[in-house]
């Protein structure tokens, strides 16, 4: 169970962030309203949420998940693969140091938290345009010291691993067609997002509830047999910047006694 989450309010320069989308520019009033609804949703699920202020000069900084990988024992400060995001990690060190001992990914490694999926004591590390093999190696070594095992997956489609692959409970992965049948997840049941609904693969399992982007009825119908509560949130202004539900927070389990 997650006890705490860290989020960051999007700054006024958010529309100048990185994106491959051809959609219109984000509407800032709607962006902020959607962020507030996200925080309210996490709090409704029993999570204490720390909401950090905007980070001037870092338009992508609301995507806090990319800055760290957090387990019960340690918070690993990442080294984002996009040069414009390099300074974001410095803004996260103090909030995380209050909650966990810190470790760091060092050059020449690069690593974005959006490429990291945890399922219990197992980690799936995506090697992508933002996370390189050296970053994956360093993270796996840090995690192994605390009893976690890791598998590396090449990300051939989508910005991050979790753009296309997420754990949705009941030994089940929600995947896009690109990852269906991947050998790294052969021991999981798989739900494949229907064509045209690939964005819905970025669904977040939070304390027994599935939080999914609004507007993907076919994917929802495939998730409903899992028997978990489902909450839909509008993420239209985050999709415009290649963002989604998982990347808007860092989720922390309670520390071990």
Q: How many helices (H) and strands (E) does the chain have?
A: 5, 15
Q: Given a cut of 70, is residue 60 above it in pLDDT? A: yes
Q: Could you tell me whether strands 209-213 and 230-233 are parallel, antiparallel, or unpaired per DSSP bridges? A: parallel
SS3 230: strand
Q: Is the peptide bond before 108 cis (omega within 30 degrees of 0)?
A: yes
Q: Which residues are catalytic?
A: 160, 247
Name, in order, each residue with C-beta under 8 angstroms of 186's C-beta and a sequence gap of 6 or more: none
Q: What is the mean pLDDT of residues 191-215?
A: 98
pLDDT attached to residue 198:
97
Q: What is the mean pLDDT of residues 204-223?
A: 98
The DSSP bridge partners found for residue 127 are 154
Find the radius of gyration of the CA atoms of the chain: 17
CA atoms within 13 A on the CB side of 127: 14
Closest CA to 53 of 43, 64, 45: 64
pLDDT attached to residue 254:
85
Q: What is the mean pLDDT of the chain?
A: 96
Q: Return the number of other C-beta atoms located less than 10 Å from residue 112's C-beta.
A: 29
Q: What is the mean pLDDT of residues 66-91?
A: 97
Please state, in angstroms and as integers, the Cα–Cα distance from residue 9 to each residue in 52, 200, 214, following that order.
Answer: 6, 23, 21
CA atoms within 13 A on the CB side of 95: 23
pLDDT attached to residue 257:
61
**Confidence band for 100, pLDDT divided at 50, 70 and 90:** very high
pLDDT attached to residue 164:
96
pLDDT attached to residue 256:
64
**Confidence band for 57, pLDDT divided at 50, 70 and 90:** very high
What CA–CA distance (Å, rounded) separates 92 from 67? Answer: 7
pLDDT attached to residue 21:
87
Closest CA to 1 of 256, 257, 254, 255: 254
Instruction: Name the CATH code of domain 2-253 (choices 3.40.50.2000, 3.75.10.10, 3.20.20.80, 3.90.1150.10).
Output: 3.75.10.10
**Confidence band for 149, pLDDT divided at 50, 70 and 90:** very high
Structure tokens at 137: 């190696």
Structure tokens at 207: 């304390």
Q: Given a cut of 90, is residue 138 above it in pLDDT? A: yes
Q: What is the mean pLDDT of residues 26-35?
A: 98
Q: What is the mean pLDDT of residues 167-189?
A: 96
């Amino acid at each position: 169970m997650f006890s705490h989450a860290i989020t960051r309010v999007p700054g006024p320069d958010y529309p100048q962030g990185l994106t491959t989308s051809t959609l219109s520019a984000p509407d800032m009033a709607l962006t902020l309203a959607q962020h507030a609804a996200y925080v309210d949703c996490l709090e409704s699920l029993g999570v204490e949420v720390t909401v950090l202020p905007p980070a001037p000069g870092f338009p992508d900084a609301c995507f806090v998940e990319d800055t760290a990988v957090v387990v019960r024992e340690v918070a690993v400060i990442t080294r984002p693969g996009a040069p414009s995001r390099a300074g974001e990690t410095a803004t996260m060190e103090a909030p995380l140091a209050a909650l966990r001992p810190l470790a760091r990914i060092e050059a020449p490694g690069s690593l974005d938290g959006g490429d990291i999926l945890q399922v219990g004591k197992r980690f799936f590390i995506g090697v992508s345009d933002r996370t390189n093999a050296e970053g994956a190696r360093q993270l796996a070594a840090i995690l192994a010291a605390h009893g976690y095992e890791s598998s590396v997956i090449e990300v051939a489609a989508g910005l991050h691993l979790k753009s296309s692959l997420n754990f949705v409970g009941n030994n089940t992965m929600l995947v896009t067609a690109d990852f269906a049948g991947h050998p790294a997840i052969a021991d999981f049941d798989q739900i494949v997002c229907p064509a045209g609904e690939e964005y819905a693969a970025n669904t977040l399992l939070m304390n027994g509830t599935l939080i999914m982007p609004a507007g993907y009825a076919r994917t929802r119908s495939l998730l409903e047999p899992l028997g978990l509560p489902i909450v839909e949130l509008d993420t239209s202004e985050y999709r415009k910047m290649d963002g989604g539900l998982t990347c808007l927070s860092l989720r922390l389990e309670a520390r071990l006694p």
